Structure formats: structure tokens, C-alpha cells
Amino acid sequence: MGQIISIFCPRCGRTCESTRYQESCGSCGSVLEVAMDLSGLGPWERDALLAAPERGLFRWWAFLPLADRASVVSLGEGDTPLLSAGRLGERLGFERLYLKNDTVLPTGSLKDRSNAIGVSKAVELGVPLVAVVSTGNAAASVSAYAAAAGLRSVIMLPEETAPGKVAQAAAHGAEIVAVKGDYDRTAKLFAAAVREFGWYACMSNNPYRNEGKKSYAYELWAQLGREAPQWLIHPTAGGLGLVATWKGFNELYALGWVDRLPRMVAAQASACAPIVEAYRSGSADVRPVSAKETIAESIRVGYPKSLGWRALRDIRASGGTAIALDEPEIREAWALLARHAGIYAEPAGAISLAAAARLRQEGVIDPSDLTVCVITGHGLKQPEIQGLAPPLPPAIEPNLESLRRRLSQERVDVG
Ligand SMILES: Cc1ncc(COP(=O)(O)O)c(C=O)c1O
Ligand SMILES: [Zn+2]
């Protein structure tokens, strides 16, 4: 139970050693994947898992590629709230719309799911350093887990990264290397550095780390009363969230613990939508696109080389879709979440709601379909979005009479 069967290449089938970190398939260069032996999991284990008092990511131990509990590095990640978007759902025409609120993860984004596992595995393998190239959220996450583990962290990022995000990684003591140019150029240099220096990369081609995001499936299954959603909408950059969630649900399906699989939806900004473009053109792999400006900054990845093809395959296998959202739609979803659901997300994290709204409008999703939007990053991650908020109204005199006048003008409910 909970044993790795193999590390294998999902493209050419070659298997590799599971006791060390290897960045890609030696034959074809593809991302590698973990195959877990789940054969020991029966109805008794299922019920015990659900009844156990343990909360968080590591309660799914049997599904995780770790051998030793002593290597666990945890900041209390996982088991984020699944909120019924009652009022917001009604407004958008849904009867059963849910928001998986990952803004409350320890470092404020979904990246903690994968890095909790990635850094724990680094401890288990005895590597001294973890490294990542990141638009911001992964940097903050990797450096926080490295700090907790006492490992050195090296973060490479494009020089235009939001200062608030760099500050988070810097506060955790990461060694930060800012690189001239965009994310994709930074990623190229990073790949060369991994080969040159043998770094343990906390990236979407780290097969151990990738297993962490399968936890979406297990949590949703538990939170929905052992059901899978009909639609699962994920903000998508590299594709890992989508691919791993699909893998998690397939594991549950193979165990007979769910009786359906969700349709997977990738939500991307129109300004940078390589997976959507490939999906629409019927292509089996992604082609690089030039990433234009978007407020969905964290998912601005023009070439999701490692997992783009997997995301395409899984979207199609699931009967889902890939959808590109324009800037006003992303802004609207961001504002709706804040005003009608009480969630302050970063725009990239809110794009799943924009996708839900559009797919509902177009009649792709039926009103009664059980739909989950993953909200993947906190609003405080991107301080510039304060600019999206309306300006402060003129100040009033500090007396009750002025306050009454203002409240009656604004029709603020003081009751
Ligand atoms: C806020 C946010 N949402 C979603 C994603 C997309 O994640 P994935 O690479 O798993 O597609 C990212 C990652 O860059 C992110 O930072
Ligand atoms: Zn291969």
C-alpha cells in the first residue's frame, strides 16, 4: 500500500529508477510519471481514510510517493474549503456551483500542494538544494517549504515579476536570481542550469512533486460525499493542476470509489492561451505562443512544454474543454468572487469562475451540473490589482451627522 511501482515515461513507456531524482526520460526527453501500487486499498481502507481525524494533504499517504513519514515537510496544507457558491451560483445560472478555495493554502496559492510533496521527497532523497523557475507563486511556495526543511533554495524569475511575490520568496531566505526577459527565456536558462549543476527542480517535470496536486481529487471526493464533480474547471498554465487532478480521479475510479469522472476544463487568458489554441486546432501537442500582457499574470506561460500535451490528452479523454477568457471577463470574475462570495483571489486564480460563467452562458454546462471552480491564488499576491478597485470616495467630517448623510447617499445597509 502506498508504494511506488515505477517511475515511467508516459510517452515511450521506459521505466527508470525510483530511488533518485531524474528530470526527464533518458530516451525521449518526456516528463516522467510515478505509478503507485494502490492494490491494497479496499472498502475498509476507504472508510478508515474518511473517518480518520487527520486533516491535510498527508492524510492521503497511501496515494503519495513517499516512503518515510520522518521526511514530511508540512505547513498545514490541504483540506481547503469547498464552498457552495449559493448567491454567486444563482446569479450565474448554476444550481450546484462550488468554489475550491485554495487561496487559503499556507503561502497563498495552489503550489503548496505540489511543493509539500516535492520538498518532502527532496528531504527523503537527501538533496541539499531545491530550485525553481517561477512567475511568483511557485517561488514563494518552494522557498517557504525549503525554509521549513532547512534546505537551500534557488529561485529564478523574470525581472518583471510582481515585487510582492519576490518579497515573499526573499523573506524565506531564497537565493533569488532575476533574469532579463520573459518567463520562457528564464525557463530555458533554468533548464540549462539543472543539467549543469544537477539541481533538484521543483517544477512540473518533477514526477514526485506532481503527485501532490492529485490531492484535489481526493479532497473533492471526500467533500462532495464520495462523488466526483461533473465539471472541474482549473486555471491553467503548465497544466499540472489539471493533469494531476485527472490522475487522482482516475485512481479513485479504478478503485471503484467514484462512479464517474469529471469533465476537465482548462481556463487560460486569451492573451496567453497555448493549450486552448492547441485544443481548438485538434493538435496533439502545444506550440509556443508569445505571451501578451494579462492581469492573470501567474498563468502567463507561453510554452507549457512538459505537460501541455498531457493536459490536451486528459481534457479530450474527459470530454472537457479548454477556454480562453478576455481581460474584461477575468476582471468581472475577480470582482464577482470578492463581492458575492467573499473570496479575494488574484485574477489568475479567479479565471476558473470566468470560464464557468461563459460555459454556462453558452449552454455547455447545464444549470444542474455539479460544477467546481478551483480558485488558485490569493488576491494579496498581486498588490497591483488594488488598481482594479474603485477609488476611495471623498472623506467626510468626523461626526455622526456627516456619516448619516453619507450612508443615506450611498444607501449602505447599517441595520
Ligand atoms: C494562481 C495560479 N493558478 C493556476 C496556476 C496553474 O497551474 P498549472 O501549472 O498547474 O497549470 C498557477 C501556476 O502557475 C498559479 O500560480
Ligand atoms: Zn520516454
Report how far ligand 1's centroid is from the alpha carbon of 138 (Å): 9
pLDDT of residue 274: 98
Residues with CB under 5 A from ligand 2 (ion): 9, 11-12, 14, 25, 27-28, 30
Chain centroid, CA 256 distance in Å: 26
**Strand duo 3-8 + 33-37: pairing:** antiparallel
Q: Say yes or no: CB of residue 239 within 6 Å of ligand 1.
A: yes
Contact 224, 370 (CB under 8 A): yes
**pTM for the whole thing?**
0.94
Atom of ligand 1 nearest to the CA of 266: 11
pLDDT of residue 17: 76
pLDDT of residue 182: 78
What is the distance between the alpha carbons of residues 159 and 166, in angstroms, rounded to a whole number?
10
pLDDT of residue 334: 95
Report how far ligand 1's centroid is from the alpha carbon of 376 (Å): 7
Determine which residue's CA is closest to atom 16 belonging to ligand 1: 298
Q: Say yes or no: CB of residue 345 within 6 Å of ligand 1.
A: no
Q: Say yes or no: CB of residue 348 within 6 Å of ligand 1.
A: yes
Picking from 86, 56, 98, the residue whose alpha carbon sits closest to that of residue 73 is 56
Query: What would you measure as the largest C-alpha separation in the chain, in angstroms?
Result: 77
Q: Say yes or no: CB of residue 237 within 6 Å of ligand 1.
A: yes
DSSP SS3 for 294? coil
Q: Say yes or no: CB of residue 240 within 6 Å of ligand 1.
A: yes
pLDDT of residue 393: 82
Tens of pLDDT, residue by residue over 176-215, are: 999 998 777 888 899 999 999 999 999 988 999 999 999 9
Burial of residue 35, with CB atoms counted within 10 A of its CB: 0-12 exposed, 13-18 middle, 19 or more buried: middle
What is the distance between the alpha carbons of residues 10 and 53, in angstroms, rounded to a whole number?
36
pLDDT of residue 410: 64
Chain centroid, CA 342 distance in Å: 20
pLDDT of residue 2: 62
Instruction: Name residues of the chain where pLDDT drops below 70.
Output: 1-2, 18-19, 135, 162-165, 386, 410-415
Ligand index nearest the alpha carbon of residue 16: 2
How much helix, strand and coil, in percent to the nearest 5, is found in the chain? 45, 15, 40
Tens of pLDDT, residue by residue over 63-90, are: 999 999 999 999 999 999 999 998 999 9
